[in-house]
Amino acid sequence: MDFGFTEENVNNNIPEVILCKFGEVVLKGANRQNFESALVKELRRRASPFGTFKIYFKQSTVYVEPQDASCDMDGMYEVAKKVFGIVAVNRAAVCEKSMEAILETAEKYLPEKLRGKHTFKVEGKRSDKKFPYKSPEISARVGGVILSAVRGIRVDVKNPDVVVGVEVRDDFAYIRAGQEAGAGGLPLRSSGKGLLLLSGGIDSPVAGLMMAKRGMEIEALHFESFPYTSERAREKVLTLAQEMTEYCARLHVHVISLTHIQEVLRDNCTEDYFTLLLRVFMMRLAERCAREYRCGALITGESLGQVASQTLAALAVTDGQVNIPVFRPCIGLDKEEIVKKARAYGTFETAILPYEDCCTVFTPRHPKTQPRLEDVMAELKKVDFDSLIEEAYSSMYTVTKLVYEGYR
């Protein structure tokens, strides 16, 4: 039998593949084909460090088949869980489409996978309706094999420790013990590009990845205030950006210096407005960067009421400064919820390293929480806004594109 790959590659000589199930993508009518090929491409781009795999789409599933014995299935499986657009991932044994082969494979493949589990149920599924056994019969027969091969295990159809899936598809049958959630969302680059205002904090990397999950390609802009912010603070941001690439695959980081703007604000404006005024500059510079790099939206890590510059009144002021959609996916999340996401995305530990951010330089003792637009505008009139923007924007430099390890 030809599975398209050699048999020695797997435990017990049973060919094994990784199956990645589509999520929401299934619903997208006309766009569906684009999404499918985006997902296949994304998996292919990430596969090279783990060996040679055949990756293709069929029956709402991406099949990832190892081509030789040296393939790192564990590594490939872990990486597949980070690909947006995939709702569930599992490893499955592959066998011929006969009841005999299914039972024999189940007997060899499943006991090791079910070790230590107390209860299970089998979900048989016959996608190929020409297969002579119906789903309940497949489930019952495979269940019988498990009961005699795994000592002490019981059936529990309501709340099993493991769901064993047996699926008879067009070409082969697939047997798996359990599956894990994938990253969900939509495939990268299926929803345009957004410019993330990336600080060194907990919130902005999460915000960027939440939008990447909705299919956005991410570009990042970081503001520094050298020498008030240090070299190490910049390194920290680049580390965060590199960590983000595990999910968003690649990322340009643009850096703009706010040093002069901050000094001018400090020398000319009312202290209570410093942070807010700085944020106005940030938004305007970000808008310009977004236009230059063809980003259709700005993304920030703001969360309503979290700090003085994130009250409704303050957000209304900064929002009004730009003519581009501003996405704030963390806006309705509590800090604990954001932290939980940061941990899941793997950015938390770096984000809590204690380096200063430009927002923490010259912080007002009593920042305005209920700013009035007229007052902010009056403060801005005290400085030469346009030339400050011009000067800061011309300081922009771009860090070489950061790419996920092995990404092609």
> Which parts of this chain interact with ligand ATP (CB under 6 A)?
197-199, 201-204, 221-223, 300-302, 306-307, 309, 357-359
Among ligand ATP, Mg ion, none, partner that 281 touches (CB below 5 to 8 angstroms by kind)? none
Q: In what order do the strands lie in the sheet with 193-197?
A: 326-327, 297-299, 193-197, 217-224, 250-257, 397-403
Among ligand ATP, Mg ion, none, partner that 300 touches (CB below 5 to 8 angstroms by kind)? ligand ATP
How many DSSP H helices and E strands does the chain contain? 13, 15
Please say which residue, 150 or 209, places its beta carbon nearer to ligand ATP: 209
Among Mg ion, ligand ATP, none, partner that 301 touches (CB below 5 to 8 angstroms by kind)? ligand ATP
Among ligand ATP, Mg ion, none, partner that 120 touches (CB below 5 to 8 angstroms by kind)? none
Query: Cα(252)–Cα(248) distance, rounded to whole angstroms?
Result: 11
Please say which residue, 124 or 201, places its beta carbon nearer to Mg ion: 201
Which neighbouring-strand residues pair with 18? 64, 91
Please say which residue, 205 or 371, places its beta carbon nearer to Mg ion: 205
Size of the site for Mg ion (CB under 5 A): 3
Looking at residues 185 to 224 of the shown chain, list those that interact with Mg ion (rule: CB under 5 A).
Answer: 199, 201
> Cβ–Cβ contacts within 10 Å for residue 408, how many?
11
Query: Cα(223)–Cα(193) distance, rounded to whole angstroms?
Result: 20
For the CB of residue 342, give the shortest distance to Mg ion in the complex, in Å: 13
Sign of CA dihedral 160, 161, 166, 169: positive
Q: Contact 86/21 with Cβ under 8 angstroms?
A: yes
Helices (H), 201-352: 203-213, 231-248, 259-268, 274-292, 312-319, 335-345, 348-351
Please say which residue, 201 or 215, places its beta carbon nearer to Mg ion: 201
What's the burial of 13, exposed, middle or buried (CB within 10 Å: 0-12/13-18/19+)? Answer: exposed
Please say which residue, 53 or 281, places its beta carbon nearer to ligand ATP: 281
Among ligand ATP, Mg ion, none, partner that 321 touches (CB below 5 to 8 angstroms by kind)? none
**DSSP letters spanning 318-358:** HHTT-SS-EE-TTTT--HHHHHHHHHHHT-HHHHTS----G
What residues contact 129, with CB distance under 8 A and at least 6 apart? none
Please say which residue, 135 or 395, places its beta carbon nearer to ligand ATP: 395
Please say which residue, 115 or 335, places its beta carbon nearer to ligand ATP: 335
For the CB of residue 356, give the shortest distance to ligand ATP in the complex, in Å: 10
For the CB of residue 360, give the shortest distance to Mg ion in the complex, in Å: 7
Contact pattern for Mg ion over residues 329 through 358, marking x by CB under 5 A: ----------------------------x-
How far is C-alpha 341 from the chain's CA centre? 10
Q: Which residue is nearest to Mg ion (CB)?
A: 201
Among ligand ATP, Mg ion, none, partner that 306 touches (CB below 5 to 8 angstroms by kind)? ligand ATP
- Residues at the interface with Mg ion (CB under 5 A): 199, 201, 357
